[in-house]
């Protein structure tokens, strides 16, 4: 089984749904780990993945994600976790009160440690920040993010609808296609 190291149950459930569509089983390694502060999601993801070697046997992978709001020059971006646990969705809506440019995107960078090297898979979804909190599914910023082409927030969708379009699904599709194509040893 391939190991997904994350303390976030929602991330694991989304990934498991995607993995099963590729005929792949994944195992949840429920573990918190330290993240460096950096303005690049790629570097944060790479660094966290590397530091887990010695603690988790490869092959394993992690997911680092963030919400980037155009009007706020990309904030919260790499600070998404801190902002979510401090000012939260209400705080983001306050920062955007009366603002018409509500464009934003979600980015996921999955890092896979194969043992000898680290590979990355990226997914991005464009959308906008809603004017109120809508929906109760999902987690984090889901209740305030409306992906392009939809009139519902991610929190108003079930896992499979979110997975049909999300940043995470794009990154994980890349990972699972790579694992299948390269037949990475499935311990
Ligand atoms: P991290 O990838 O766990 O560091 O996530 C950073 C922050 O973004 C956390 O507060 C998450 O709750 C939030 N986040 C990550 N992915 C998603 C998502 O798919 N939907 C909504 N919020 C997310």
Query: What are 51-96's pLDDT values in tens digits?
Result: 999 999 999 999 999 999 999 999 999 999 999 999 999 999 999 9
Q: Inter-axis angle of helices 167-182 and 9-21, to 10 degrees? A: 50
pTM (two decimals):
0.96
| Segments making up each domain of the chain, as ranges | 2-181
Q: Does residue 17 have an active-site annotation?
A: no
pLDDT of residue 182: 86
Break the chain down into helix, strand, coil percent, rounded to 5: 40, 25, 35
User: 2-181 has which fold?
Assistant: Maf protein (3.90.950)
Q: Whose CA is nearest to atom 14 of ligand 1?
A: 140
Low-confidence ranges of the chain (pLDDT < 50): 187
**Percentage of the chain surpassing pLDDT 70?**
97
pLDDT of residue 186: 52
Q: What's the 115 CA to ligand 1 centre distance in angstroms?
A: 26
CA distance 148 to 104: 10
């Amino acid at each position: 089984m391939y190991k997904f190291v994350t303390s976030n149950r929602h991330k694991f459930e989304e990934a498991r749904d995607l993995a099963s569509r590729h005929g792949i089983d994944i195992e949840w390694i429920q573990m918190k780990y330290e993240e460096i502060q950096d303005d690049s999601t790629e570097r944060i993801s790479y660094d966290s993945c590397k530091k887990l070697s010695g603690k988790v046997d490869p092959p394993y992978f992690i997911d680092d994600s963030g919400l980037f709001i155009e009007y706020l020059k990309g904030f919260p971006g790499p600070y998404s976790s801190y902002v979510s646990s401090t000012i939260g969705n209400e705080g983001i809506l306050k920062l955007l009160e009366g603002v018409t440019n509500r464009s934003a995107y979600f980015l996921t960078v999955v890092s896979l440690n194969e043992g000898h090297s680290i590979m990355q898979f990226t997914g991005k979804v464009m959308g906008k920040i809603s004017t109120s909190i809508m929906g109760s599914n999902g987690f984090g910023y889901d209740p305030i993010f409306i992906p392009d082409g939809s009139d519902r927030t991610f929190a108003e969708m079930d896992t499979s609808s979110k997975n049909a379009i999300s940043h995470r699904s794009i990154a994980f599709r890349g990972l699972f296609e790579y694992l299948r194509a390269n037949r990475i040893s499935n311990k």
